[in-house]
């Protein structure tokens, strides 16, 4: 698998709990992917465990074909800049950032390492100009972007399995 596909996969794994869309990718046999993570959550936090479980489902198992670069968990806001510089030196294939402070620190310090971000609203926070064209070495998932609210509602209304769809059919 190429580096770009691995970066897309990390973004997909971050988004899967939100959308539950199955994604499968081929992997290079024998290659160990290096993943840096910047988050304020502890390694044992349920959301981190869920993220790593999704990676396992996709075939990336820590200790087999995935190495998590240490030092990026349970960070305070004032620690992100120092840790991202250390992560960049470890040469990860991608750095996964959770939260606006972690994303901003990674954008400023790791301009050659691909970044995947998870944030409430990347545009409103000034992290990207547009979700369509984030620019540079940066991609991500915006969970509450007002730019996407109408599209999410449209998708949910059209999905036969969603509670929103049932609600709208009974009200129409």
pLDDT band at 49 (very low <50, low <70, confident <90, very high): very high
What's the CA gap between 71 and 83, in Å, rounded? 7
Angle between helices 3-19 and 46-57 (to 10 degrees): 120
pLDDT over 90, % of the chain = 20
Beta bridge partners of 103: none
7-42 per-position pLDDT tens digit:
666 666 665 554 444 444 555 677 899 999 999 999
pLDDT band at 3 (very low <50, low <70, confident <90, very high): low
pLDDT over 70, % of the chain = 65
- Six-digit token pair at 26? 């081929």
Is residue 96 pLDDT above 80, yes or no? yes
Structure pTM? Answer: 0.66
State the pLDDT at residue 167.
Answer: 44
Mean pLDDT over 134-159 rounds to 67
Mean pLDDT of the chain: 76
- Sketch out the chain's domains with CATH numbers: 3-144 (3.40.50.2300)
110-133 per-position pLDDT tens digit:
777 888 888 887 777 778 777 777
Distances (CA, A) of 69 to 7, 54, 79, 129: 15, 18, 16, 29
Q: Which conformational region is residue 126 in: left (phi greater than 0), alpha (psi within -120 to 50 degrees), or beta? A: left
Distances (CA, A) of 25 to 3, 14, 22, 117, 119: 12, 15, 10, 20, 25
Is residue 43 pLDDT above 70, yes or no? yes
């Amino acid at each position: 698998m190429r580096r770009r596909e691995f970066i897309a996969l990390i973004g997909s794994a971050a988004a899967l709990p939100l959308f539950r869309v199955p994604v499968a990718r081929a992997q290079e046999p024998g290659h160990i992917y290096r993943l840096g993570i910047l988050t304020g959550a502890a390694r044992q936090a349920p959301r981190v465990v869920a993220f790593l479980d999704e990676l396992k489902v996709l075939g990336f198992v820590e200790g087999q074909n995935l190495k998590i670069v240490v030092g990026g968990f349970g960070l305070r806001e004032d620690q992100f800049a120092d840790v991202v510089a250390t992560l960049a030196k470890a040469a990860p294939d991608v750095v996964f950032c959770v939260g606006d402070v972690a994303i901003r620190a990674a954008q400023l310090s790791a301009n050659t390492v691909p970044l995947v971000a998870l944030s409430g609203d990347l545009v409103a926070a000034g992290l990207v100009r547009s979700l369509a064209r984030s620019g540079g070495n940066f991609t991500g998932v915006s969970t509450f972007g007002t730019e996407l609210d109408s599209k999410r509602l449209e998708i949910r209304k059209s999905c036969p399995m969603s509670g929103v769809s049932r609600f709208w059919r009974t009200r129409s």
